[in-house]
Amino acid sequence: MSTQTTNTVRIHELLDYIRNGRVMDAMREFYDDDVVMEEPAYGQTIGLDANLIREQQFVDSVKEFKNFESGKVGVGDNISLYENVMDWVDVNGNEIHVEQVVAALWRNGKIVHERFYYDMNGG
């Protein structure tokens, strides 16, 4: 199986995990021990252990996941891109809506670098 085919399967599996609320399982299954994750709100988080802590903090801040859509997905030999829309209610009762694009670099079926692009000003 080619790298591109493997990564196509893996990205769709990852999105299914997220869609089904298995965020922490996804982190352990799809991310390399040395992963670097970047997003506007947090900057870079280096290493799986640090990313697990950051992601658990996010999960703990969510009272109810309402929506996760990922209609547009692109895959190359070592990269994937997807656009998604997420809606949730946080533990304070605030309704959150995020539209973002996620770019990931893959190695051996695991994500080694992932960057999130979204507008922090709600525009």
- What does pLDDT average to over the chain? 93
| Tens-digit pLDDT profile for residues 72-91 | 999 998 999 999 999 999 99
Task: Label residue 5 by pLDDT band (50, 70, 90).
Answer: confident
Question: For 69-76, which contacts have Cβ atoms below 8 Å and span 24 or more sequence positions?
Answer: 70/15, 70/18, 70/19, 73/11, 73/12, 73/15, 75/4, 75/7, 75/8, 75/11, 76/4, 76/7
Give the pLDDT of residue 7. Answer: 83
Instruction: Tell me the mean pLDDT in the region 4-25.
Output: 92
Q: Is residue 122 part of a domain?
A: no
Residue 44: strand pairing partners: 38
Q: Is residue 123 part of a domain?
A: no
- As separate numbers, helices (DSSP H) first and strands (DSSP E) second, the chain gives 3, 6
Which residue did the predictor score with more confidence, 99 or 7?
Answer: 99
Residue-number span of the structural domain to which 54 is assigned: 3-117
- The enclosing domain of 30 has a CATH number of 3.10.450.50
- pTM value is 0.91
Coil vs helix vs strand at 2? coil
Question: How many domains does the structure of the chain reveal?
Answer: 1
Q: Is residue 24 part of a domain?
A: yes
Give the pLDDT of residue 95. Answer: 96
Residue 26 backbone dihedrals phi, psi, to 5 degrees: -60, -40
Q: Is residue 48 part of a domain?
A: yes
Task: Label residue 123 by pLDDT band (50, 70, 90).
Answer: low
Give the pLDDT of residue 1. Answer: 66
